[in-house]
A and B are shown apart, each in its own frame.
Chain A
């Protein structure tokens, strides 16, 4: 599987009730863990909540995934993919 064929799923949780970002991220990861592990999927969470970013990064790294944060002006984009996969911007 080459990186260009990777599907990117974007979920926007800005303005939602806490802890929506973390719960949404965990739910999506659990539902699609096979695709994530196989490197077929990258999950991008768009959020504006600082603490959620810290918690998602912590929880998702502990689960063995790679996390990267991009500052996108008004919001942050947290990208989650398998450990050795390349994050696509």
Chain B
């Protein structure tokens, strides 16, 4: 693969910036969905809508001028099925129980948060367990196809700009209304706090750079499967050899920096995904740790009630498996797929809502008694 060091360095930088931004603004996507049901108010969810709206505009503008015109990753432009919806539901339950999503877990881990450590262990275990039922799930996904097109404009037989424009207009009106009402700003007494709306603008820029330079939006969870696969291969090599999921290279995307299409899979090999995802993961954890240290707030806290340890592990496990089933995690679908109006991502997001509701019920019933 040509230009490998450049791809690694850029991914690392994107991760470092994301880590700092997410730590300073506490940009917790799991919390955004959870609070909608737990407290019937989710001020941070408005910032997520801002991020998605900006990305819609940026991606479409870039596509129109020919900047993002290469072939997009297969799991963004795959055909929608019930697998996306169910994956979203399960992911929603998992992220609330774990107290952070696929990326939230990383920035929380970077600042020394104890529950994030257990959530990450769960994520790795869940991604690995998926390989056991992957063949059955693949069949389920194929037999529950909901459309033979991949995006909303294709489904509506409309040109892409004509589908994007009304959505961007509606979202912008909402956002302007909230801005005028003062609802986009979070009152904060914490020094060094970054407003989530500012974080949203910055993160939209990061996802855009990732798309333009790396060839895909931010993604992480395949690497969790890779870590699990590596460990399983060490512990039980004979069983590992029978797992089809870890031996396939089904993921393809065009890498603008490598100037050709890279393929990848969930196996422990160094491939087109490890190249971009591992530096990103290290970057997010490192960026958040640096930000916490600069604020004087880096602090490892592992003293947790037992119920929370179980909840974080179990939530991580569900999230890890769900991210393989969906396929892909919330960051990929919300920040990458939704702005492109991918039907898979729309279904995943629709699934997140009942999932987060269910997770909130479980959390307050069994883990954090209010």
Contact of A57 with B by CB under 8 A: yes
**When chains A and B are docked, how far (Å) is the Cα of A69 from the Cα of B187?**
13
For residue A57, which residues in chain B have a CB less than 8 angstroms away from its CB?
187, 189
Contact of A24 with B by CB under 8 A: yes
| B187 contacts A15, C-beta separation under 8 Å | no
Of A17, A58, A76, the residue contacting B190 (CB under 8 A) is A76
Query: Which of B1-9, B134-142, B298-306, B332-340 makes up part of the contact surface?
Result: B298-306
Q: Is the interface of B mostly helix, strand, loop or mixed?
A: loop
Contact of B111 with A by CB under 8 A: yes
| A27 contacts B189, C-beta separation under 8 Å | no
| A15 contacts B188, C-beta separation under 8 Å | no
| B186 contacts A54, C-beta separation under 8 Å | yes
| A16 contacts B34, C-beta separation under 8 Å | no
Contact of A89 with B by CB under 8 A: no
B280-309: CB near A (< 8 Å → 1, else 0) gives 000000000000000011111111110010
Contact of A87 with B by CB under 8 A: no
Of A16, A50, A73, A75, the residue contacting B308 (CB under 8 A) is A16
**When chains A and B are docked, how far (Å) is the Cα of A73 from the Cα of B296?**
6
Of A15, A54, A58, A76, the residue contacting B113 (CB under 8 A) is A15
For residue B99, which residues in chain A have a CB less than 8 angstroms away from its CB?
17-18
**Residue from B25, B186, B190, B308 having most chain A Cβ neighbours under 10 A:** B190
| A54 contacts B190, C-beta separation under 8 Å | yes
| B311 contacts A69, C-beta separation under 8 Å | no
A50-87: CB near B (< 8 Å → 1, else 0) gives 11011001100000000001010111100000000000
Which residues from 6 to 63 on chain B have a C-beta closer than 8 Å to any C-beta of chain A? 24-26, 28, 30-31, 34-35, 38, 44
Contact of A14 with B by CB under 8 A: yes
Q: With A48-B301, A74-B297, A76-B190 in contact, do A15 and B370 touch (Cβ < 8 Å)?
A: no
**When chains A and B are docked, how far (Å) is the Cα of A16 from the Cα of B100?**
11
Counting from the closest, the 4 A-B pairs by CB-CB distance are A15-B301, A17-B99, A15-B114, A51-B26
| Interfacial residues, chain A to chain B (CB-CB below 8 A) | 14-20, 23-24, 26-27, 48-51, 53-54, 57-58, 69, 71, 73-76
Knowing that A18-B99, A50-B26 touch, tell me 7 more A-B residue pairs with CB under 8 angstroms: A14-B301, A27-B369, A48-B111, A54-B188, A54-B190, A74-B299, A76-B190
